[in-house]
Amino acid sequence: MEHFDAIIIGFGKGGKTLAASLAKAGKQVAMIEQSAEQYGGTCINIACIPTKSLAFQSEQQAKSGESKEDYYQEAIQEKDQLTSTLRENNFKMLDDQETVTVYTAKATFIDDKKIRLRSDSESLELTADNFFINTGSSPIIPPLDGIDDTENVYTSTTLQERHELPEKLVIIGGGYIGLEFASMYANFGSKVTVIDSSEEFLPNDDRDIADKVQKIFEEKGITLQLESRVKSVKNKDGGVAVTYQRGDTAKEITGSALLVATGRKPNTEGLGIENTSVQMDDKGAIITDDYLKTNADHIWALGDVNGGPQFTYISLDDFRIVRDQLFDDGSYSKKQRKNIPYSVFIEPVLSHVGLNEKTAKEEGINYRAASIPAAGVPYARIVKQTDGLLKALIDPDTDEILGCTLFCAGSHELINTVRIAMEAKLPYTRLKDNIFTHPSMSEALNNLFSSFD
């Protein structure tokens, strides 16, 4: 039985960064990943990187001059090559470390201090002073009638493995993952229908933003079926048929493929958590304190598996919280983590940080709001992406920025500038009067925040 200073289960962003940091400090580290196809974690293999690669490629489809089928297959191949290169680089990043041992095996806790590894070729037990669980999350498959017996049913992971472009794609779920795939596949040339149970499109967003997004989706030919609940799926005519209920009416739609985008769940199944003193919530997420410690003092949980926001950069920030405890004063915690930005890679990209009007009203927060159309930004015209809306909220007493929603070209970059200003508690005038290069999308912040004067 081999002993390590640290055992990290899961090759995701937080885990692999922690492994490298511990190795630099001379610690003996075991990095455990159950699949050789997942070195580097979910982000680079099946989520952020490949989907954004496909999203970018989809936007070039009309310019390519190729048939949509040929272009789609080339985009899939390019995505596969990208992820393969990153996966190999991530493996070498740790395997080349003298004090890191990479195991490709399934890990199961025997007790608080010991795990068992199983692979096709071996079974062994390891112990450690500290354990770090970073196993991520996976798609939720709802218990729909017929779903287990129906072909051409995909998750956000498996749809990317399909080399044939679906002529008609049906998507269950109008959340951000579903909408990214809807936009992407519509650009590639699929006829897309999104079925969602919500009464409103993008129910957590302000109506002016949601209406803009919906208009663009409809212009792409995407059909949105709201207030609809899927009841069953089945094979039909070489594809799939989906039966859903809208009001008192049962309807059926057929497609070449079905994407189930109904959320993700923490990957704790098979970890043997029940053999430890670690506790989980009713959704299967590992319960931690603000410092990411479980109720076992030597076991931490990082990333999606702890039930926090499901973003790679949150997993990275989880690493910072743990690093601060191991190598610094231990003062940094989730309490300091505010104003988390996010981007939805539809076309154009939808990005947000802080409050929107809907949330501010619900929380009784006083605010001023201003917005400008994306078409008013010169660079948006240069790149021919004039659709969209830019919107911000400020505190009328302090002039600090309360929140910002950017639905425009390059918003995934711009939103980070806004967050820095928010974290620094700068008045909105600092962005209004900042010197930005021209022409650029950044100078849209001059225009947006000038709207408050």
- Sites in the chain below the pLDDT cut of 70: none
Answer yes or no: do 54 and 161 share one domain: no
Answer yes or no: do 205 and 322 share one domain: no
Give me 133's structure tokens: 């669980």
pLDDT of residue 122: 85
Answer yes or no: do 129 and 36 share one domain: yes
Give me 85's structure tokens: 């290169």
pLDDT of residue 62: 79
Answer yes or no: do 17 and 78 share one domain: yes
Answer yes or no: do 269 and 131 share one domain: yes
How many Cα atoms occupy the beta-carbon half-sphere of 347 within 13 Å? 25
User: Of 336, 354, 370, at which residue does a domain stop?
Assistant: 336
pLDDT of residue 67: 95
Rounded Cα gap, residues 154 and 136, in angstroms: 19
Answer yes or no: do 194 and 321 share one domain: no
Answer yes or no: do 395 and 445 share one domain: yes
User: Of 336, 365, 387, at which residue does a domain stop?
Assistant: 336
* Nearby residues of 96 by Cβ (< 8 Å), 6 or more positions away: none
Per the annotation, the verdict on 438 as an active-site residue is yes
Answer yes or no: do 236 and 297 share one domain: no
Answer yes or no: do 388 and 306 share one domain: no
Rounded Cα gap, residues 304 and 31, in angstroms: 18
Q: What's the CATH number where 362 sits?
A: 3.30.390.30
CA nearest to 312, candidates 49, 70, 76: 49
Answer yes or no: do 133 and 11 share one domain: yes
Beta bridge partners, 252, equal: 243
Range of the domain at 228: 147-262
| Catalytic residue of the set 3, 163, 352, 438 | 438
C-alpha distance from residue 422 to each of 414, 429, 431 (Å) = 13, 12, 11
Amino acid identity at 421: A
**Burial status of residue 219 (CB atoms within 10 A of its CB: 0-12, 13-18, 19 or more):** exposed
pLDDT of residue 63: 83
C-alpha distance from residue 47 to each of 83, 95, 157, 175, 366 (Å) = 10, 23, 7, 15, 37
**pLDDT tens, position by position, 245-303:** 999 999 999 999 999 999 999 999 999 999 999 999 999 999 999 999 999 999 999 99
pLDDT of residue 7: 98
C-alpha distance from residue 239 to each of 10, 76, 225 (Å) = 36, 21, 20
pLDDT of residue 378: 97
Would you list the DSSP string of 90-130? HHHHHHTSTTEEEEESEEEEEETTEEEEE-SS-EEEEEEEE
How many CB atoms sit inside 10 A of residue 35's CB?
11
User: Of 219, 244, 262, at which residue does a domain stop?
Assistant: 262
pLDDT of residue 1: 84
* Nearby residues of 1 by Cβ (< 8 Å), 6 or more positions away: 114, 124, 125, 126, 127
Answer yes or no: do 357 and 389 share one domain: yes
Answer yes or no: do 168 and 239 share one domain: yes
Q: What's the CATH number where 164 sits?
A: 3.50.50.60
E-only strand ranges, 88-247: 100-104, 106-111, 114-118, 123-133, 137-139, 153-154, 168-172, 191-195, 223-225, 228-236, 239-246
